[in-house]
Amino acid sequence: MEKDLKSKTLAELERLIAGLGEKKYLAGYIFSFIHMRGVPSISEITSLSKSFRGRLTSKGYYISKLEVIDKLTDPDGTVKYVFGLPDSNKIESVLLFDDDRRTLCVSTQAGCGMNCVFCATGRLGLSRNLTPAEIVDQVNIVEGDTHITNVVFMGMGEPLANYDAVLAAVRILNHPRRFASQKRSSGGKNIGIRRITISTCGLPDAIERLADEDIQPRLAISLNAPTDAIRRRLMPIAKKYPLDQLFGAVRVYQRKTHNRVTIEYCMIKGINDTAMHARMLVKLLRGVLCNVNLIEYNQHPGCSFNPSGKEVIERFAAVLKEAGLETTARQRFGWTINAACGQLGAI
């Protein structure tokens, strides 16, 4: 059983407290003290009686906290946080500034098992899944520096390969904040569900499972190719799940949720960036409610690919727009500190 109270949703805390023979509303105090006040230990949850705090501790319950071991800032303002885990693994989060938005890109695994050839994280391999607490605490700690408006599960790791922990983290981050005037507080981060995005390389079963949840964050698909042959070259997961299976799951998801998905497409010189590739992508996305983000490939040690260049990206985007696809060429942030898309883990 998970003993870290920071990993538990309010509903899980309520079941825990009721199972210990206490009033269920005490779970709200625990949840609020952890996620609004950031207390480091059970002893500091002063709304609980001293005897109950002692009983929780004696049963092995605790509150974890990530350790910041480095913090790097790019000239464009992007900030990369490097966190140390208790087992000596490291993870990274990236804070992006865009007008009034403060978007934090969080990791969900230490390393990654997907092995996408254009991604530095994939070269690390998978060490382990993160707990809900380790995911949420990335937000908690960075919020000590600035208010976070948006969270994207787009850092190290494949979020849907750590499904239960990611969904628990989504519920914790989305939980509403109750005001002090209310008798019982159970305040959370109150990050709007449409300001939370899960990005996946494409796990069909998990996408369909997500469609049946009672909570619906945004969904982004890391596609990167308009054909199975090109996608298999870039993303080993494509050997297991071809495009027809992936988009079959996307259509199930959209039929149930009516939600738009974001298609992420990393532009790699000479691989997937011609006008012909753009026309093939238009055909592939026909009937899919989506927008397309074009991402300039970010170089990192150990990979020989080159970025497409702005003119090529603009021509590619023009084909998509002419076909009626909402398309954005994303600006590259954090490149000098290895914080750009595909660079995490290349410290």
Examine the pLDDT at 219 and tell me if it is beyond 70.
Answer: yes
% of the chain beyond a pLDDT of 90 = 86
Instruction: Name residue 320's amino acid.
Output: L
Task: Copy the structure tokens of residue 274.
Answer: 């011609």
Residue pLDDT, tens place only, 248-306: 999 999 999 999 999 999 999 999 999 999 999 999 999 999 999 999 998 877 788 99
Q: What does pTM read for this prediction?
A: 0.94
Whether 296 sits among the annotated catalytic residues: the reply is: no
Residue pLDDT, tens place only, 194-203: 999 999 999 9
pLDDT of residue 217: 98
Q: Helix (H) and strand (E) counts for the chain?
A: 11, 12
> To the nearest 5 percent, what fractions of the chain are helix, strand and coil?
35, 20, 40
**Cα–Cα distance, 45 to 31 (Å, whole number):** 10
pLDDT of residue 200: 98
Task: Copy the structure tokens of residue 334.
Answer: 């954090």
pLDDT of residue 179: 41
Examine the pLDDT at 46 and tell me if it is beyond 50.
Answer: yes
For the segment 326-343, the average pLDDT, to the nearest whole number, is 88
pLDDT of residue 180: 42
CATH number listed for the domain at residues 67-337: 3.20.20.70
Give the mean pLDDT of the chain. Answer: 94
Whether 92 sits among the annotated catalytic residues: the reply is: yes
Instruction: Name residue 234's amino acid.
Output: L
> For the chain, which residues make up each domain, given as ranges?
5-58, 67-337
Residue pLDDT, tens place only, 53-75: 999 999 999 999 999 999 999 99
pLDDT of residue 67: 96
5-58 placed in CATH 2.40.10.500: no
Q: Enumerate residues 6+ apart whose C-beta is below 8 A from 51.
A: none
**Cα–Cα distance, 73 to 336 (Å, whole number):** 9
C-alpha angle 172-195-296 in degrees, rounded to nearest 5: 120
Task: Name the band, by pLDDT with cuts 50, 70 and 90, for residue 186.
Answer: low
Catalytic choice (201, 266, 290, 341): 341
Other Cβ atoms closer than 10 A to 239: 10
Residue pLDDT, tens place only, 87-105: 999 999 999 999 899 999 9
Catalytic choice (12, 14, 92, 134): 92
pLDDT of residue 301: 76
**Cα–Cα distance, 221 to 264 (Å, whole number):** 6
Task: Name the band, by pLDDT with cuts 50, 70 and 90, for residue 347.
Answer: low
- The sign one gets for the Cα dihedral 330, 333, 335, 337 is negative
Residue pLDDT, tens place only, 119-138: 989 889 999 999 999 999 99
pLDDT of residue 187: 65
pLDDT of residue 303: 80
